[in-house]
Structure formats: structure tokens, C-alpha cells
Amino acid sequence: MVRVLGNTWMPIGVGGNFMPGGTSGTSAEYYKCASVSSGAFQPKGYNLTMSFIDVIDFDYATEPTVIQLTMTDTTKTGLDREWVSADGAYTLKKYTSPGEGYISWGLYKDNGNTCSHYISSGLLDQNKITTDAEGNSVDQREPWEISQLYSEAGFMDTKTISWVVSEAATGAKTWSGYKAVFDSTAGTWSFESGVTSGLTYTSVTPVVGGIYSADALVIVSLLYKGAPTLTSPTGMTSGSSDEWEISASSFYSTNSAPWKAFDGVTGSSSGWTGASNSSWWLQWQNKTKPVLVQKLRFQGTASGDIAQQAITSFILQGSDDGSTWTDLYTASGLTWTTGYEWKEFTFLNSKSYYYHRLADITVAANYPTIVELETYDM
């Protein structure tokens, strides 16, 4: 399914996209979001180009030096700002004159370590000087108001500097993503390993992990990638393995330990049963990688225990650290009619987590039982 701007839902079929207007095919391009640039405000002078005839061995060069610079931190002001060239060869930043008591601008090389050009005392504009608390003369000019720099290598002033200064603007809203590729033979989708950058968005801001059209105006809830992938532990023989860690708020006995809900045994009394309290949760952690959960299913208790141990509501949650949790799905008003009945829940989710848990579990009477629990990446 895809959601078109305005909360209109349209289906994506296996083997083709069915878009508004009745057209079909696979011409539309979709991407799984990898990163988003918010289009932050760029102050005047965010991008600078300076061009000047430099001094070499007490003489002027025949060709101009042209340096393109980009501001590194737009939150800084005045002489705290810095600009760096794309290749990292030049840095334009604050220059403090040793022993002469003034602060102005300097052009540095060697990753900002060596000052090659700077404002000498003779190049200061006395009309734009203030004095700081230490008695230093502080140059209040913008860098692009400077007409010359003193060359350390040539021991002379450069010829007049020509500046190109960007105006204040809001940066482009861009995002990057992994392109979805359709296999017409298998009828499945996959994602390229390389990232496509320079995608733009307007009114809909992509979320990392979500799937969108190139302009982000179509939100894709699901692309068929073949058979669902199990993303929960199974075949557990204890509460811990190399990949998984299982825990719970409590358990009734060693025969109903938390890991019993992930032992792969169904249709029997083997499962997790919580102890008598009112704050039940069951948690599973992948210790090696975050996993995506888009479907949850679990098997309930035996028919003779439904009245006491059947789960009536829960919240499925995900977390990256086991402390801060995000609700993924909420179920309530569950009813059970047969023993060892399965309940299945499919939902929209594009965020992978290391930790998952069923929390805020409620039951009909006494305490909860889950015989087996599985989750899937759809």
C-alpha cells in the first residue's frame, strides 16, 4: 500500500504500481530513507569565493589564486566563525597578532594550522575597530569587506581581493535513500546497497527507514520482498544465546520461564506464564543488530485456562537502549474461544530496534500465558 499526500491510500500490487488515474507499471521510483537535511537557514556569506593575485618571492603571481569556502557552523557569529575550502587546504578564521594587540581575519593552510595570509596592522580599518576587555583592538569587518591580506610567504600585501558572497537563504530540503529495485521474474523488491543522494522534498518530511517516492509525496507502507523474515528468537533453550537475550517482569515457575515463549514448541504447556502481579511485560533483545517488526503473532493458553490466563490487551514497544521505548502497536479487547489459539497483528512500522517487548499486559483474571511468540519483517 502507498499513501498519497492528503491521506489517500492506493495499493501497490506485486509486479506493478497502481497509481491514481488507473495507470500501472513500475515506472515510479521508491527509496528507503537513509538521511534527511532539514533545509536549515544559511546566513549571508555561508559560501565565499575569494580571488586575488598572491605574492611569491617578493613578486606578484601571474595567475590569480581562487579559493571557495563554506561556513562550518552557522550558529557562530563574528570572529568565532570559520570557513573551510572543499579540499580542506584552506581555512579562513580568526587571527590574533602576536605581540601587536589586535585580532582580525587570517587565511590558514595545513588543516588550519599554518597562517599564510593575515591582516597586518597597516591593513586595519580604524573606523571599524573596537577594544576588548584585554585591551586588544578587534576588527569588526566581515571577511568580504577586506580588500587585501599580508602574505607571509612573500612579505608583501596581495593585490585587491575580489569576493563572491552568497546571500542569506534557506537551504534546500534534501534527503538520501536506498533505491528500491523490482525483480519482475521473482515479483519481489529489494534495495540497492549504495545511497542515492540529492533527493528533494517539500511538504512531507521523510523519516529515516521509511519508504517514499523520489519527491516524498507518496509514502509506501509495504514493498513485497518475498516470504516474511522471522525477526524474533526461536529454538531457545535458556534465557540467553549469542544473538538473543530474553527477560520478563516475572515468571510463575522455572517451567514457565520467559525463554519458553521462544523455544519453538507450540500446542503444549511449554510457554511463559507471569507471576501474580499487575505489571507484566515480556522482552526479547537482539544483541547483534536492530531488527524490524511489522507483524506479531503469539499462541495463547490451553482451553482450560482461558478464563484465568488469556491476554486481553497489550502494547508492543521497541527500544534502542532498553530504557526509552516507542509504542509500535496497541491491542485491546482480545477474546479467545479455543485452546492454543493464535492471534496475529500486522501494522505499519519502518524503524528497526534492538529491544522489543510486550508491555502493559492485562489478563482476564489471574496471570498471562504465552505459549509461543513470533515477529516478522514483512
Query: What integer pLDDT is reported at residue 27 of this predicted model?
Result: 61
The DSSP code sequence of 211-241 is EEETTS-EEES----SSPEE-S--S-SSSB-
pLDDT of residue 26 exceeding 70, the answer is: no
Taking residues 78-85, what's their average pLDDT?
Answer: 96
d(CA 191, CA 72): 33
CA angle 40, 44, 47 (to 5 degrees): 80
Query: What topology is assigned to 229-377 in CATH?
Result: Jelly Rolls (2.60.120)
- Using one digit for the tens of pLDDT, what is the confidence trace for 193-238? 899 998 999 889 999 888 999 999 999 877 777 788 999 999 999 9
- Using one digit for the tens of pLDDT, what is the confidence trace for 141-173? 999 999 999 998 889 999 999 999 999 988 778
Q: Which of 111-115, 140-144, 242-246, 271-275 has the lowest mean pLDDT?
A: 111-115
Q: Which three cell numbers, joined as nine digits, stand for 357? A: 517487548
What count of other Cβ atoms lies within 10 Å of the Cβ of residue 331? 16
Taking residues 289-306, what's their average pLDDT?
Answer: 93
| Position with higher pLDDT, 48 vs 169 | 48
Strands (E) across 153-273 are located at 156-157, 162-165, 169-170, 174-183, 188-200, 211-213, 218-220, 229-230, 244-248, 272-273
- Using one digit for the tens of pLDDT, what is the confidence trace for 170-204? 877 899 999 999 988 888 888 898 999 989 998 89
Query: What integer pLDDT is reported at residue 236 of this predicted model?
Result: 96
Query: What integer pLDDT is reported at residue 82 of this predicted model?
Result: 97
Q: Which three cell numbers, joined as nine digits, stand for 261? A: 515463549
Residue type at position 30:
Y
Taking residues 252-273, what's their average pLDDT?
Answer: 94
Query: What integer pLDDT is reported at residue 41 of this predicted model?
Result: 84
CA angle 297, 303, 308 (to 5 degrees): 85
d(CA 84, CA 106): 12
Phi–psi pair at 256, nearest 5 degrees: -130, 40
The DSSP code sequence of 42-101 is E-TTSEEEEEE--EETTEE-SS-EEEEEEES-TT--GGG--EEETTSS-EEEEEE-TTT-
- How buried is residue 314: exposed, middle or buried, by Cβ count under 10 Å (0-12/13-18/19+)? buried
Query: What integer pLDDT is reported at residue 144 of this predicted model?
Result: 97
143 and 76 Cβ atoms separated by less than 8 Å: no
Task: For residue 275, give the H/E element and its range.
Answer: none
**76: pLDDT confidence band, cut at 50, 70 and 90?**
very high
309 and 299 Cβ atoms separated by less than 8 Å: no
Query: What integer pLDDT is reported at residue 9 of this predicted model?
Result: 44
pLDDT of residue 16 exceeding 80, the answer is: no
Q: What is the pLDDT of the chain when averaged over all its residues? A: 89
171: helix, strand or coil: coil
| Position with higher pLDDT, 31 vs 27 | 31
Query: What integer pLDDT is reported at residue 6 of this predicted model?
Result: 43
Query: What integer pLDDT is reported at residue 172 of this predicted model?
Result: 79
Domain residue spans in the chain? 2-37+175-220, 42-169, 229-377
pLDDT of residue 31 exceeding 50, the answer is: yes
pLDDT of residue 323 exceeding 50, the answer is: yes
Query: What integer pLDDT is reported at residue 299 of this predicted model?
Result: 97
